[in-house]
Amino acid sequence: LVHCPFLVFQTKGELVAGKEMSVIVEFTNPLKQTLENVTLRLEGPGVLRTIKKQFGRIPMNSTLTWEVKCIPMRPGLRKLIASLSCDALRHVYGELNVQIQKP
């Protein structure tokens, strides 16, 4: 049985429109093999522009942490979505609802 791995989200800083905050995405490789050609993609309309980052490899049981700084432009409820793909895994994703406050 292979559990579908997922991405874990955290935010750091104030969730206020016009102020810098950080989005932190974590992924732990659950497979008994090194993952190759890993690509992470992060999007969050109204919070950050879509960005992609290549990570060469993630050894088994190791955790990848990616921190992205951004400045949300609009207040309100926003959704952050991250997805990871690599040779051995497809459709790994996570999402987080964040409430951006008015300045």
Q: Return the domain boundaries, the chain.
A: 8-95
The residue-averaged pLDDT of 4-29 equals 93
3-class SS shares of the chain: helix, strand, coil, % to 5: 0, 60, 40
**Domain 8-95 in this protein, CATH class:** mainly beta
| Helical residues (DSSP H) of 1-103, grouped into ranges | none
Weakest-pLDDT range from 1-5, 18-22, 41-45, 48-52: 1-5
- Residues sharing a CB contact under 8 Å with residue 64, sequence separation 6 or more, in sequence order: 26, 27, 28, 29, 38, 40, 55, 58
Task: Please measure the distance between the N-terminal and C-terminal CA atoms of the chain and give it in whole angstroms.
Answer: 47
Its pTM stands at 0.89
Kindly indicate the confidence band of residue 3, based on its pLDDT and cuts at 50, 70 and 90. Answer: low
Kindly indicate the confidence band of residue 1, based on its pLDDT and cuts at 50, 70 and 90. Answer: very low
Write the DSSP assignment of 38-67 as a string of letters.
Answer: EEEEEEETTTEEEEEEEEEEE-TT-EEEEE
Give 25-71 pLDDT, tens digit per residue. Answer: 999 998 999 999 999 999 999 999 999 999 989 999 999 999 999 99
pLDDT of 6 > 90? The answer is: no
